[in-house]
Structure 1
């Protein structure tokens, strides 16, 4: 849990992902296309990935990936991020976190 907390606050946008997950790919692409350069942690490529995945589930991430943190706070998974994108809230959050400039 401590590792997830530490990693999630290292950059304005942090995504916990799995390299084989299509929704993870879509969410990463969404951020890249907006000009945001998130820190991405591929859990299936990390020796402590399963431990971090369990910690994300304890935080309420279901499914565990993609798990998106903005400004060190858990935003949620793909459905939450897409909802924020569609209603325009995501851009505001990214600006407030310093991940995006106008």
Structure 2
């Protein structure tokens, strides 16, 4: 199983939805709250300038935000990506 990192903020509904989908798949993820400017800068550097949350990385590869995660799942591409 690939490692999953998700950059979030506490009040973000999209963050909660992405975490729910991953939990439903049995995936544990490392959550990184972007409550400090340096963490947001780190996220933006890794996510090619994207500044919204969540930003999700599977196996170190940026897959995008919540909508992107759900699109991967609908296309049947999320499970293989998680398995590596």
- Which range, TM-score by smaller chain? 0.7 to 0.9
User: What's the TM-score once normalised by structure 2's chain length?
Assistant: 0.85
Q: Which has the higher Rg, Structure 1 or Structure 2?
A: 1
d(CA) in 1 for partners of 2:49, 2:30: 18
> Cα distance, 1:63 vs. partner?
4.2
CA RMSD of aligned residues (A): 1.6
Say whether residues 1:56 and 2:47 are aligned partners: no
Q: Which residue number in structure 2 is paired with residue 6 of structure 1?
A: none
Q: Unaligned stretches of 5+ in structure 2?
A: none
Say whether residues 1:74 and 2:83 are aligned partners: no
The 4+ residue runs of structure 1 with deviation greater than 6 A are: none
d(CA) in 1 for partners of 2:14, 2:34: 14
Post-superposition Cα deviations, 1:28-78, rounded to whole Å, max 9, x if no partner, equal: 11101110011111222xxxx222213323433534310100001111111
CA contact (8 A) 1:63 1:77 kept: no
